[in-house]
Structure 1
Amino acid sequence: MSSHIVNSSQDEVKKWVKFCSNFTASDGKQHALLDNLNQDLSQKSVLSGDGFKLSAADNDVFATVHPFVIRVSDSELQKYPHVLRWMDYIQNTVGSGTTLQKINVVKSVFDPPSHPKKADKGDAESSLKKAISGQKTADKSNGSADSKKPAGETKPPENKENPTAAGNNKTSGEKKKEKEKSAGKTAEKAPEKVADKESECNISVLNIQVGLIRKAWKHPSADSLLVEEIDLGDGNVRQVVSGLAKYCSPDDLTNRHVVLITNVKPGKLRDVMSAGLVLCASTEDHTAVEPLIPPEGAKIGERISFAGFDGKPEDVLNPKKKQLDKITPHLRTDENGIATFKGVPFTTSAGPCRSSIRNGNVK
């Protein structure tokens, strides 16, 4: 790979990171930025890559502009046809059952004209006469053939001693229907197993919310642990124990917004009760760890959503199902630092959640 291609790819990534940052920070300039995005998309289907395959840049920009676009009137949206086409492509490619409100895109319906060729009257009459003549000839021929058959051959003999043989007298059409019916019963059972397996690894079972750390202090009996008091709004305050003492001080965490799973089963960590799990990004070698950062403007207590993954979270996760163990391997930050599940951003009403750690693990 040449250095020119590498530099071009890096420049493209930086371009869309800057766009997301400007769009989130700009107040009143979103229309101008949306117009720039519309022009950029006028010559391509997606933002980067080979022109067809969705990239992390597409998911990040989609999650950034969605909260603004959903509030724009239909008449104003018509100014950005390429943006609408692109957003519709993403929301239908990622999945239609999304927790994000779907962008309404009015599409033109193509109804091709039908021009049936009219048959000539003379040709029609001629064809009809031939058909009638042919039918009479066939009937006569069949009647003659049937009259020559012995009476005993008109009906297959019943085999009372061997009922299986009688069953084998079924026509090929009847046998085919029985096979299809049997295959259908087998096919009905298979999707249930697949659905059960997929539900165990569906991010929607988790209740992931935005929280604000009001206080933080060192764990009384574990040097590697910190204890945080986290506000989830509406008077919902809970205590969480995290293994962050090596990477953050209590002062670093105080008054910091975080992302946490709130429906894990409460339990004690070294004799201190914990009722949540603060999600953090980390490098591969685990030398750097930091809590995920919700965007400015995200509401305390709001639930994080994932395009294409809907459903209600479980009240409390069942540790025996090991759902977290199945889900966390799919949690990562992309090359832009956006937190994702299977490439789909952690999304709030104000945009995606981020980290300064790129291409890292999240758990």
Structure 2
Amino acid sequence: MGSSAVSPSLTSMILNQGNSAEPHLSDAVTAIVKDQNNKAKAEDGSNEEDHISKLDIRVGIVRSVSAHPGAESLYIEQVDLGDKEADVPKEPRTIVSGLVRYVPKDYLEGRAVIVVGNMKPSKLRGVVSEGMLLCAMEQDLNGEVIKVGLLEPAEGSRPGDKITFEGYTDEATIPAAVLTPKRKWFEKSRVHFYVKNGVAYYKGSPFKSAQGLVRCKTISEGQIS
């Protein structure tokens, strides 16, 4: 791990400046020390900005599942995220997921899931997808995905229930309206997602709805995507 301590040579320079030091020496030393401190923080990750507050992660209910007409590996799901307009419930969102090989249709349909609800809508083989289901995955030694499992909220969770992370977000946190792809807020957050003992975490803080912890029933240890 990096250290923010000032090196002996720099310490000596600072102590021996006195009145005879050139006027610019103090500024130069300060700049060097600041650069060393920044490098130390970069090494231990302490200056890394958290982007998790930008993500709108919610509970969804998969109302229906159909085969994608243009891709055998994709499902088209209608997912209720509790969206409302003027207090009137909106239609479920269309979400396209590559889960055909890993999750049976009968298991997925009617299931409570965890969704990133503010992904920028994008076409997947001609069908616009309006969100992303979060899943845990296991990989082999070559990095190939061999197993995928849904992240599922605690029993009693409802469509639209917010997922929070203690120490990072709470019920009052307002996410971005839409995740800007070029800023990579999702990608920068996702690298810190993982499952341990069946519980989903972000940087050691569990995924949690008002009803309890988010879990994966089929994968005990793995990454989340």
Aligned to 1:344: 205
Is the Cα–Cα contact under 8 Å of residues 218 and 250 in structure 1 kept in the other structure? Answer: no
Which residue, out of 143, 151, 156, partners 1:292? 151
Distance in 2 (alpha carbons) for counterparts of 1:358 and 1:339: 9
Q: C-alpha displacement at 1:185, in angstroms?
A: 7.5
Q: C-alpha displacement at 1:312, in angstroms?
A: 3.2
Which residue, out of 64, 70, 75, partners 1:221? 70
Residues 185 and 312 of structure 1: CA distance in aligned 2, closer, same or farther (over 3 Å) = farther
Is the Cα–Cα contact under 8 Å of residues 331 and 341 in structure 1 kept in the other structure? Answer: yes
The AA in structure 2 aligned to 1:273 is V
Residues 181 and 362 of structure 1: CA distance in aligned 2, closer, same or farther (over 3 Å) = same
Q: What SS does the corresponding residue of 1:211 show, helix, strand or coil?
A: strand
Is 2:102 the counterpart of 1:250? no
Distance in 1 (alpha carbons) for counterparts of 2:207 and 2:76: 25
Which residue, out of 189, 198, 215, partners 2:48? 198
Residues 206 and 176 of structure 1: CA distance in aligned 2, closer, same or farther (over 3 Å) = farther
Is 2:162 the counterpart of 1:306? no
Residues 287 and 176 of structure 1: CA distance in aligned 2, closer, same or farther (over 3 Å) = same
Q: Sequence identity, in percent?
A: 37
The AA in structure 1 aligned to 2:106 is D
Is the Cα–Cα contact under 8 Å of residues 281 and 355 in structure 1 kept in the other structure? Answer: yes
Aligned to 1:172: 18
Aligned residue pairs, count: 190
Is 2:67 the counterpart of 1:208? no
Q: C-alpha displacement at 1:324, in angstroms?
A: 2.6
Instruction: Please identify the structure whose Cα radius of gyration is greater.
Output: 1
Task: State which drifts further: 242-251 or 266-275.
Answer: 242-251
Structure 1 unaligned segments of length 5 or more: list them: 1-170
The AA in structure 2 aligned to 1:244 is L
The AA in structure 2 aligned to 1:214 is R
Q: C-alpha displacement at 1:202, in angstroms?
A: 2.5
Distance in 2 (alpha carbons) for counterparts of 1:174 and 1:261: 61
Distance in 2 (alpha carbons) for counterparts of 1:274 and 1:260: 12
Report the structure, 1 or 2, having the larger strand content: 2
Report the structure, 1 or 2, having the larger helix content: 1
Distance in 1 (alpha carbons) for counterparts of 2:157 and 2:192: 24
TM-score, with length taken from structure 2: 0.73
Is the Cα–Cα contact under 8 Å of residues 59 and 157 in structure 2 kept in the other structure? Answer: yes
Distance in 2 (alpha carbons) for counterparts of 1:264 and 1:309: 20
Is 2:178 the counterpart of 1:316? yes
Distance in 1 (alpha carbons) for counterparts of 2:174 and 2:187: 19
Root-mean-square deviation (Å)? 3.0
Which residue, out of 181, 187, 193, partners 1:325? 187
Distance in 2 (alpha carbons) for counterparts of 1:214 and 1:251: 11
Is the Cα–Cα contact under 8 Å of residues 211 and 259 in structure 1 kept in the other structure? Answer: yes
Distance in 1 (alpha carbons) for counterparts of 2:153 and 2:53: 18
TM-score, with length taken from structure 1: 0.47
Q: C-alpha displacement at 1:251, in angstroms?
A: 2.3
Is the Cα–Cα contact under 8 Å of residues 202 and 309 in structure 1 kept in the other structure? Answer: no
